[in-house]
Amino acid sequence: MNLAEQAALRLEQLARAGVSVPWSAAKAAAPNAASRKPPHTLASLDLQRLREAGYLVPDPLHSELKEQFRHLKRPLLETARAQGADPLQRGGQIMVTSALRGEGKTFCAVNLAMSMAMEIDTAVILIDADVVRPSVFARLGITTRPPGLLDLLAGTVNELPQALVGTDVPKLLLMGSGEPSLRSSELLASAAMDRLLTRLGEAYADHVVIFDAPPLLVTTESTVLAAKVGQVIVVVETGKTTKAIVQQAFAAVKRCPVVVSVLNKSREPVDSGRYGYHDR
């Protein structure tokens, strides 16, 4: 049995056991869920390797890191699920970025996606939007490179499921960055990106979409994307990122309605009001 067959069998077993899988979960919350197709590609994640590398994995074990991401995700989910007369547009589409390279944004994006996928009634699509230096698939140990974000935007791929990768982590879907393009910033700023965000919001309304984006002060792609999503997380490295750089980063995402910061690589004890993630 090959990898795809093993993953398909595992997802089928989860569905029979009553565990919601990404493309069949919460049909009431996603009107088009019944008609959407499963991803063309399936991948099995090496959870033991991820655990040893310091990442969250879906298990019952308690850890400080798990608690920290619970604190982080709660207000994000509340905003994403907000109802009422004026809910936040695209509140369930969240961009994770940093001011500079090496501050731990991908580490935080992957762990946030894992933490949200552990929710009872939330599924996740983690998109590698760092189209300059993509690394999400490598972090997760996935060697396949299916079509991704830029392919959808350029029109070389039209079907959304072709760019999605199913995993054997319940309620977690992935999307790669796609074929590199010299026009990546223009593609992210285009009407095609707006249409893609609308498609994701309609067909996957039961999913939170997390974008791992490039550093804000290194490229222009994140500034463009920040103007289109509902929430932005700016990862700040303790003891490295200066106040002036943080101010520049926040100025670059001022068009996003909700912007929060996360203190990363802190070596000090943390409490419920402060995050101190240890990047790998």
List the pLDDT tens digit at each of the 280 positions of the chain.
444 444 444 545 444 444 444 433 343 445 566 568 889 889 999 999 999 999 999 988 889 999 999 999 999 999 999 876 567 889 999 999 999 999 999 999 999 999 999 999 999 999 999 999 999 999 999 998 899 999 999 999 999 999 999 999 999 999 999 999 999 999 999 999 999 999 999 999 999 999 999 999 999 999 999 999 999 999 999 888 899 999 999 999 999 999 999 999 776 654 444 444 434 3
Q: What is the pLDDT of residue 188?
A: 97
Question: What are 275's two structure tokens?
Answer: 């995050």
Residue whose token pair is 């909700």: 258
Domain-embedded: residue 173:
yes
Q: Where are the beta strands (DSSP E) in the chain?
A: 41-43, 93-98, 123-128, 165-167, 172-175, 207-212, 231-237, 258-264
Answer yes or no: is 170 within a domain: yes
Predicted confidence at residue 31, as pLDDT, reads 54
Q: Is 270 inside a domain boundary?
A: no
> Who's near 39: CB < 8 A, 6+ residues apart?
23, 161, 164, 165, 166, 173
**pLDDT score of 267:** 65
Q: Which of 66, 73, 121, 117 is nearest to 94 (CA)?
A: 73
User: Do residues 258 and 91 make contact, with C-beta atoms less than 8 angstroms apart?
Assistant: yes
Task: Report the predicted TM-score, pTM, of the whole model to 2 decimal places.
Answer: 0.84
Q: Of 96, 106, 126, 74, nearest to 233 (Cα)?
A: 96
Distance in angstroms (rounded) separating the CA atoms of residues 171 and 258 = 25
Return contacts of 35-41, CB within 8 angstroms, 24+ apart: 36/160, 36/161, 36/203, 36/204, 37/159, 37/161, 38/161, 38/166, 39/161, 39/164, 39/165, 39/166, 39/173, 40/146, 40/161, 40/162, 40/164, 41/4, 41/144, 41/146, 41/164, 41/165, 41/166
For residue 204, give its domain range.
3-56+64-264
Separation CA 96–CA 214 (nearest Å): 9
Checking DSSP bridges between strand 258-264 and strand 207-212, what pairing results, if any?
unpaired
What is d(CA 40, CA 232) in angstroms, rounded to the nearest whole number?
Answer: 29
In the numeric block, which tokens belong to residue 124?
Answer: 């996740």
Domain count within the chain: 1
Q: Does some domain include residue 269? A: no
Q: Return the pLDDT at 21.
A: 45
| pLDDT at residue 13, as a whole number | 45
What is the pLDDT, as a whole number, of residue 150? 98
Q: Is residue 277 part of a domain?
A: no
Q: What is the CATH number of the domain that holds 26?
A: 3.40.50.300
Whether 69 maps to a domain, the answer reads yes
Considering the domain boundaries, does residue 42 fall inside one?
yes
- Domain assignment of residue 272, yes or no: no
Give residue 85's pLDDT: 58
